[in-house]
Amino acid sequence: MENKKNILQDSFGRQHTYLRISLTELCNLRCTYCMPAEGIQLSPRSHIMSYDEVFEIAKTFVDHGVTKIRLTGGEPLVRRDADVILKKLATLPVELSITSNAVIIDRFIDVLKECNVRSINVSLDSLDAVKFKEITRRNDFEKVYKNIMLLINEGFNVKLNAVLINGFNDNEIIDFIEFTKELPISVRFIEFMPFDGNQWDKAKMVSYAQVMEYVNSNYDVDKVIRMQDAPNDTSKNYKIEGYKGSFAIISSVTNPFCDSCNRIRLTANGRLKNCLFSSSESDLLTPLREGKSIETIIQKAVQAKLKVRGGMDTMEKLEQPDLHGKNRSMIAIGG
C-alpha cells in the first residue's frame, strides 16, 4: 500500500481519527442553548455540501486514517437526502454513528440498521413535557420519548445527552439517573458551553463537581461505581450498582479533555473546524469544487490546532463573550 503522509496528526502528537460531519444548519427544534432566539444567518443552499461532496470529503479523511464518523447538525435527519448520505458513508470502512433529537428518527430505523449504525446519541434535556417545550421551543416531548423507547427496543446503543442548566433541569439529575435503573442506556450530563448568541453565563452552568454532589447526597458512596472510560472518551462514566444503564458527565468547561482529543469537525458548508471552540475554519468545499486537492488544507488546519479549547485555555478567557462570540452558534457547528 502507498505510504501516505500523516496529515491528521497535530503539533501535539494528537492523531485525529474521529470526524463529525454536520449535514445541515436546519433543525426542527429550537433549543435555547444551541440556537439564538432570532435564528441564524443560514448559508445559501448552493454553499451546502451535496451528498457526493460529503462522501468525497469523508473518503479523503478515511483514506488518511479516520475510523469513526458521526453525523450531526442542526438535525441531520431533516435533510431530505439523509438516507442517501447514510448509505453512501456506510460503504466506507468506518464506524458510523449519529446524533439526533429523535423527533423523526422512527422513519429511519430500517436505513440505520441497513447502514450498521449501532450507536445513537439523542438529546433530551428534561423528562418533563412542559420543560421540554420551554427549552426546545417545540411541543415534541411525546414523539421523542416514544422514539427513544423504540430505539432501545430495536437494539440500538442509546446515549441520552442532557445539557444541564442551573435552576432549570439540575433538579432532574436524579430522575435521569433513575431512568437508567431499568433501561440499558447511558445518560450523559453535559456542561453548558458558550457559543455565539446562547447567552452563556458561568452561573447557568452545572459543573461536574455539582453533578457529583447531587449523586453523592442521593446514593450510598459504595453504590456509585466509577467505570472504565474508553480511550479518547470525552465523558467520565459511572453507574449505580445493579442498574441496567449508566451515566456520565461531559465536562468540557471545568475539566477539558483536550489532551486526548481525536476529533475534527466538518460544517454543513464544507468548512473544517479543528476544535469545537475554535473560531477559525478552513474551506474545503471551494477547492473541492475547483477540482483541487484538499489534503494540504486539511494538514494545515490540523497542524494549527491549539492545545486547549481553541485557545480558551482558562476560565477567564472562556468568560469573555468577545472570544466565543467569534465562534459560530452550536447549531451551525454541529455538536
Q: Tell me which residues touch ligand SF4 (CB under 6 A).
A: 27, 29-31, 34-35, 73-75, 101, 123, 331
Q: In the complex with ligand SAM, which residue's Cβ is closer, 60 or 235?
A: 235
Q: What's the rounded Cα separation, in Å, for the pair 266 and 198?
A: 21
Burial class (CB in 10 A: 0-12, 13-18, 19+), 5: exposed
Binder of residue 100, out of ligand SAM, ligand SF4, none (CB less than 5 to 8 A by kind): ligand SAM
**How much of the chain is helix, strand and coil, in % rounded to 5?**
35, 20, 45
Q: How many residues sit close enough to ligand SAM to count as binding (CB under 6 A)?
A: 20
Which strands, in side-by-side order, build the sheet including 246-250? 224-226, 235-240, 246-250, 186-191, 157-164, 119-123, 95-100, 68-72, 18-22, 263-266, 271-273, 282-283
For residue 80, the minimal CB distance to ligand SAM (Å) is 16
For residue 300, the minimal CB distance to ligand SAM (Å) is 26
Site string for ligand SAM, 97-136 (x = CB under 6 A): --xxx---------------------x-------------
Specify whether the CB–CB gap between 254 and 189 falls below 8 A. Answer: no
Say whether residue 161 binds ligand SAM (CB under 6 A).
Answer: yes
Burial class (CB in 10 A: 0-12, 13-18, 19+), 219: middle
- Give whole-number Cα distances, 67 to 9, 20, 23, 305, in Å: 14, 11, 19, 20
For residue 71, the minimal CB distance to ligand SF4 (Å) is 12
Among 18, 51, 156, 192, binds ligand SAM (CB under 6 A): 192
Among 7, 23, 34, 94, binds ligand SAM (CB under 6 A): 34
Among 195, 214, 243, 277, binds ligand SAM (CB under 6 A): 195
For residue 52, the minimal CB distance to ligand SAM (Å) is 23
Strand bridging mode 119-123 / 282-283: unpaired
For residue 35, the minimal CB distance to ligand SF4 (Å) is 5
By the criterion CB under 6 A, which residues form the site for ligand SAM? 27, 33-34, 72-73, 75, 99-101, 123, 161, 163, 190, 192-193, 195, 198, 330-331, 335
